[in-house]
């Protein structure tokens, strides 16, 4: 949410400033600019004090350096949606994600000691029919284990976080994940229709006895969370072949994800995983054997770059020749009026299984190559809607004006050319799997470009 608020604030400021400037400059004049063309006319002469002239210059000949890095870890706790599964992307390699979650006590003073527990089921509701990435036709296997370590809602958990659990398996599920069809559940003679979900039957006799003999541990929520700390759901399928496997999104804020105890033939109690439950994902990526693995540690310009969600990959973009704007103008103030970064992209393999991200972001890098969250400059990228380009490539654009203006001003004042770069990433606002491949070749017909319109202040 912080990133989104910063982006909105940034866009509002830019829109206000740009609108004001363009109103003043173009009320009486219109200009047509070509690459590196300096307008020979005086712009806004009648409205400028003392007859000062403003000359606008447009250029797109900057050198860009682009390469792929592993992304920083991301927070995965208390999100409404959690990814689950294992997949082998033909380009990006293998990704696996597990879910750690605690249940909530539906009511105090529950007691199952005098009843017959018929079955116990862990249900994980799918977010929706299209909330997945990869090949759904691939079978998967999930196993459930009981946590031996407390989870806390006031703690922060990241994609690299882990919690200890008892190695004794509570139950397992194998099959193809069906995100479309409803599930029919029978309680005695009554049939109940439930939304699409994974239903993992708990078969551990010791765990069922633990529920039956909980006693005072079901008296209060505090006692319950100490007694039953939660579970972890782990994908344990054999390593999928390239193009096999999928990551699906599990919805925890729907009233259907949780642990159900069925007893006395027709009765049940539901222990939900909800907004009050501590929960997080552990995520692993393995790029072994992929083409992209060779560029991850070299930090050298590459003609193909990658971005991947879930703490996967990001593309760093630097602008080494941007400082020539100051150098070639005798260290005068260079004011950037507009900036656009265009990054061509292309698909590899099936666009159905691996569609483009719905949203992308640009985040400033710090001096250590980590995401800089304090700058507030986090604009979003959008697809170019030019139909003539859709068939061959899609294009992302951004307005990195504030970042470029800052490094130019710093260079003019200090002589230090500090270009840490900006990262192209898939949106951190989406919890599931997404990825994209950038065509960053500098010699192709469609090339990545930085387009600026600027003026040199006399």
Among residues 257, 251, 287, 359, the alpha carbon closest in space to that of 96 is found at 287
Distance, in Å, from the CA atom of 164 to the CA atom of 154, rounded to the nearest integer, reads 18
Residue 350 — pLDDT band, cuts 50, 70, 90? low
Per-residue burial over 159-181, b if 16 or more Cβ lie within 10 Å, else e, is: bebebebbeebbbbbeeebebee
Among residues 252, 250, 281, the alpha carbon closest in space to that of 158 is found at 281
pLDDT at 6: 41
pTM of the model: 0.84
pLDDT digits (tens, 9 = 90+) for 238-284: 889 999 999 999 999 889 999 999 999 999 999 999 999 999 999 99
Mean pLDDT of the chain: 84
Distance, in Å, from the CA atom of 393 to the CA atom of 88, rounded to the nearest integer, reads 24
Pairing of strands 56-59, 37-38: antiparallel
pLDDT at 398: 63
Among residues 335, 344, 360, the alpha carbon closest in space to that of 7 is found at 360
Distance, in Å, from the CA atom of 336 to the CA atom of 301, rounded to the nearest integer, reads 26
Considering the chain, what percentage of its residues have pLDDT values greater than 90? 66
CB 67 within 8 A of CB 295: yes
pLDDT digits (tens, 9 = 90+) for 76-89: 999 999 999 999 99
pLDDT at 360: 83
pLDDT at 344: 87
Among residues 138, 51, 78, 64, the alpha carbon closest in space to that of 458 is found at 51
pLDDT at 63: 95
Question: Residues for the chain: how many in total?
Answer: 458
CB 456 within 8 A of CB 329: yes
pLDDT at 155: 96
Q: Is residue 435's pLDDT more than 50?
A: yes
CB 322 within 8 A of CB 407: yes
pLDDT digits (tens, 9 = 90+) for 315-328: 999 999 999 999 99
Residue 43 — pLDDT band, cuts 50, 70, 90? very low
| Number of other residues whose CB lies within 10 A of the CB of residue 42 | 14
CB 310 within 8 A of CB 83: yes
pLDDT digits (tens, 9 = 90+) for 202-213: 999 999 999 999
CB 163 within 8 A of CB 151: yes
């Amino acid at each position: 949410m912080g990133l989104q608020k910063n982006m909105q604030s940034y866009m509002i400021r830019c829109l206000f400033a740009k609108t004001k400037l363009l109103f003043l400059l173009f009320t009486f004049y219109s200009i047509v600019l070509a690459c590196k063309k300096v307008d020979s006319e005086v712009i806004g002469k009648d409205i400028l004090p003392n007859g000062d002239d403003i000359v606008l210059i447009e250029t797109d000949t900057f050198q860009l350096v682009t390469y792929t890095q592993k992304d920083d870890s991301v927070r995965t706790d208390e999100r409404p949606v959690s990814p689950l599964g294992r997949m082998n992307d033909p380009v990006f390699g293998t990704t696996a994600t597990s879910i750690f979650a605690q249940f909530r006590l539906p009511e105090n003073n529950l007691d199952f000691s005098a009843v017959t527990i018929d079955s116990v089921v862990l249900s994980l509701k799918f977010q929706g029919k299209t909330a997945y990435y990869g090949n759904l036709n691939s079978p998967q296997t999930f196993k459930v284990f009981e946590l031996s370590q407390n989870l806390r809602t006031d703690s922060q958990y990241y994609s690299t976080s882990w919690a200890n659990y008892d190695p004794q398996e509570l139950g397992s599920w194998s099959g193809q994940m069906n995100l479309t069809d409803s599930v029919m559940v029978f309680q005695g003679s009554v049939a109940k229709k439930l939304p699409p979900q994974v239903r993992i039957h708990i078969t551990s006799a010791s765990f069922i006895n633990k529920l039956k003999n909980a006693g005072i541990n079901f008296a209060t929520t505090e006692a319950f969370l100490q007694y039953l700390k939660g579970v972890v759901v782990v994908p344990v399928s054999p390593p999928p072949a390239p193009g096999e496997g999928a990551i699906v999104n599990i919805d925890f804020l729907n009233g259907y994800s949780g642990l159900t105890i069925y007893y006395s033939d027709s009765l049940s109690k539901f222990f939900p995983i909800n907004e009050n439950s501590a929960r997080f994902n552990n995520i692993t990526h393995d790029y072994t054997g992929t083409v992209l693995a060779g560029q991850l540690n070299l930090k050298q310009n590459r003609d193909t770059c990658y971005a991947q969600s879930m703490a996967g990959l990001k593309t760093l973009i630097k602008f080494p020749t941007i400082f020539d704007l100051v150098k070639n103008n005798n260290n005068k103030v260079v004011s950037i009026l507009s900036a656009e970064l265009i990054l061509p992209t292309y698909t590899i393999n099936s666009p159905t299984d691996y569609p483009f991200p719905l949203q992308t972001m640009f985040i400033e890098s710090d001096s250590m190559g980590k995401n800089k969250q304090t700058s507030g400059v986090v604009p979003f990228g959008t697809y170019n809607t030019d139909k003539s380009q859709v068939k061959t490539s899609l294009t992302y654009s951004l307005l990195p004006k504030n970042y470029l203006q800052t490094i130019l001003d710093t260079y003019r004042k200090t002589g230090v050319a500090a270009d840490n770069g900006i990262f192209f990433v898939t949106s951190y606002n989406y919890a599931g799997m997404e990825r994209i491949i950038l065509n960053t070749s500098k010699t192709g017909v469609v090339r990545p470009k930085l387009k600026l319109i600027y003026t040199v202040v006399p």
